[in-house]
Amino acid sequence: MGLANLVPGISGGTMILAIGLYEQFIAAVADVSRLRFRRSSLQFLAVMAVGLGAAVVIFSGVAVLLVTEYRPVMYALFIGMTLGGAPELWRECRPLRPGTLVAVTVGVAAMAGFASLGGSAPLQATIPVLLLVGAAGASSMILPGISGSYVLLVLGMYDTVIGSLSFSQLKESPVESLSIIVPVVIGAGLGIALLSNLLKALLQRFAAPSHGVLLGLLVGSVLGLYPFQQPVHPELATRTMRKAIVSVVVEHEPVEDVAARVEGVSPEELTALAGPWEGQSKGDLKRAGLTLVRFRPELTEVFGAVLLFLLGFAATRRLGRGSRAAAA
């Protein structure tokens, strides 16, 4: 679940659902949020929290790198992993009735609208914004089909929040990282508490339509994950290079000093990269770095994407079958 929530497009809720533990997870979170400290709920959440926390600290930097540097590869894999949870939800929707079909349609339409936002308007990292981002990201984290990191990407806060969680960033700038992490965590706790209780009530009282909406959210979530996209401004797509350009353009640090901190970049190269961005703000640079454009893939790229999709789908299904067999 921790790995899933680090990458845009994969929902931690989808992973929990795929392995047959979703309703137990929702019930456990709802219990704790109501200060009902049952031993089984606490044990379940404690084990999950250890794995989730370790994944976030250890792999957050790698996740940012893979998403920004190998987007077509990772997105194709993410689509497969996300849709791997669909068969489980489909079974929960049976017997299929018109109301359930409407619920599925509503879920798909909601995700289609969300995907159309496209991450084109990054938000400023103020405390109120970070609280809301934490609530939105964590709430979506437990909804199958809606990735917390996908929410961050659409809001333009992915690099800010996920980057601040990496061990290297915590070591390099602990105060700056904690100023982002603390309000996000507080907002996340509030969001999870509210949504878990709502989901628990809906799943108990309106099981089929609720699962129908969740299925629609899951299927619709892949609409924003078209694999064959690339940054319009690749020099701004990675955190390291964008930070270097910001240091030169916005903070007016000497080019030689900044280039010395960036491996493999000479002062002349950095000057050339930073030149077109003179007069732009930090937010403008981040917005430009998030702008994507579709490209026409080669046949080998399409073939590779299909294989990665099948690999991701099979991995999620395999994980689900193994967990259910162990539980039985």
**189-213 pLDDT per residue, tens:** 888 888 888 888 888 888 889 889 8
Q: Per-residue pLDDT tens for 81-91?
A: 878 878 878 88
Q: Count the neighbouring beta carbons within 10 Å of the beta carbon of residue 324.
A: 14
The predicted-structure confidence for 240-254, as pLDDT tens digits, reads as follows 888 899 999 988 999
pLDDT over 60 (residue 64): yes
Residues in the chain: 328
pLDDT band at 7 (very low <50, low <70, confident <90, very high): low
Q: Answer whether residue 120 shows pLDDT above 50.
A: no
Q: Which two tokens stand for residue 227?
A: 């694999």
Nearest to 29 by CA among 197, 234, 259: 197
- State the pLDDT at residue 271: 93
Q: pTM for this structure?
A: 0.70
Q: Which single residue is written with the structure tokens 């990407």?
A: 153
- Which tokens belong to 40? 């089984």
Residue 306 has pLDDT above 90, yes or no: yes
Q: Is 293 exposed, middle or buried (0-12, 13-18, 19+ CB in 10 A)?
A: exposed
CA–centroid distance for 95 within its chain? 32
Q: What is the pLDDT of residue 304?
A: 93
Give the model's pLDDT for residue 224.
72
Q: Please write the tens of the pLDDT for every residue from 121-152.
A: 556 678 888 888 888 777 766 776 666 666 77
The residue among 85, 68, 1, 74 whose CA lies nearest residue 308 is: 74
Examine the pLDDT at 328 and tell me if it is beyond 60.
no
Reference 125, options 160, 174, 175; nearest CA is: 160
Dihedral sign computed on CA atoms, order 139, 191, 40, 203: negative
The values of phi and psi at residue 230, to 5°, are -145, 155
Predicted confidence band at 269 (pLDDT cuts at 50, 70, 90)?
A: very high
Least confident of 66-70, 72-76, 177-181, 297-301: 66-70
| Confidence band for 117, pLDDT divided at 50, 70 and 90 | low
State how far the alpha carbon of 157 is from the alpha carbons of 121, 150, 287, in Å.
9, 10, 10
